[in-house]
Amino acid sequence: MRRPSLATGAHPSRACGTLLHKGPLLEPDTPLAATPSRRIALLIDADNVSHAKIGAILAELSKYGTANIRRAYGNWAAATLKGWTGKLHDFAIRPIQQFSYSTGKNATDIALVIDAMELLYTQDLDAFAIASSDADFTPLIMQLKANGHEVYGFGERKTPTPFVNACTTFLFLDGLEDSTPPAEAEVEAPAAAQPKGRGRRKAAPATAPAAAAAPAAPPEAPTTPGAKSLAQDSKLITTLRGAVEAAARDDGWAHMAAAGSAVKRQAPIDPRNYGVKNFPRLFEATGLFVIMKGDNGQTYVADKRNTDRAAKPGG
């Protein structure tokens, strides 16, 4: 069986369990050119991972390669997994149904382990990603690593230490920001446009030329057409923000080409489907990113939420 090499720029010490409390799994300046061909199997214990973090998980994995295999395990008839339904479709995750055969026993764990071992011996994979907070997966992780595969762990801060230390790298999901844009309340001010009338003065705007000209002002306010609708596309924004974070350097800026590649490793997004011709235009059209050219003439992108970024990208 082929033994995969570590990603370009990764530290050899990362092969031993490394604990990351928060932040990227790779160094910010690690080249991304070597990662797209690396194949990763993402196996999710849906009973122990919040569906709200799936975007963050895929964004982190895009630093290592492409999660070609995405599976989530659970009893999908249970009300506790209701929130997962939309996420499974949005992020192309295959749901694996597992009923609980005995009260108090978690059959999901066994199903996940069986699939992991099958994938180990039947698929040409470079790494596995296990999303769970259950220490019962520790022996599985040790076996996967013994067979020459890196294992990236994701879970809550309550995850037992043996599970954390067994992984090649482990990322606590509790501290990760949710990159999903909040639902913006549509602010309309019809009341502000109409002064409180007194008796007959309500009819004045219909005849006064000055009042008739007032409605002509709003059309000049909108910026990029469709920007508001793009900014409210939660899946798109989650993917774009995750890509920028995955490709960002120490100064907070990401090379546009690297960010675009990171987007494609997360989801099959084509800018033309959003009415623009390339990724620079797509990032710009959302209104949530800063686009700037560096002194070297190359284009860079940064998340507007990142107030710690440099004033302009370095060379």
Q: Which domains are seen in the chain, by residue range?
A: 12-172 (3.40.50.1010), 227-303 (3.30.420.610)
Q: What is the DSSP letter of 232?
A: T
State the residue for tokens 């797509």.
282
Does the CA dihedral 222-294-64-168 come out positive or negative?
A: negative
Q: How far apart are CA 169 and CA 154, in angstroms?
A: 9
Q: How far apart are CA 81 and CA 66, in angstroms?
A: 26
As separate numbers, helices (DSSP H) first and strands (DSSP E) second, the chain gives: 12, 10
Rg (CA), the chain: 24
Q: How far apart are CA 240 and CA 234, in angstroms?
A: 10
**What residues in the chain have per-residue pLDDT under 70?**
1-36, 100-105, 176-228, 315
Does the CA dihedral 37-38-43-49 come out positive or negative?
A: negative
Residues 6+ apart with CB under 8 A from 40: 61, 64, 65, 66, 67, 68, 69, 125, 126, 127, 128, 129, 152
pLDDT tens track for 95-131: 998 876 655 557 788 999 999 999 999 999 999 999 9
Q: How far apart are CA 263 and CA 253, in angstroms?
A: 15
Per-residue model confidence (pLDDT) at position 78: 85
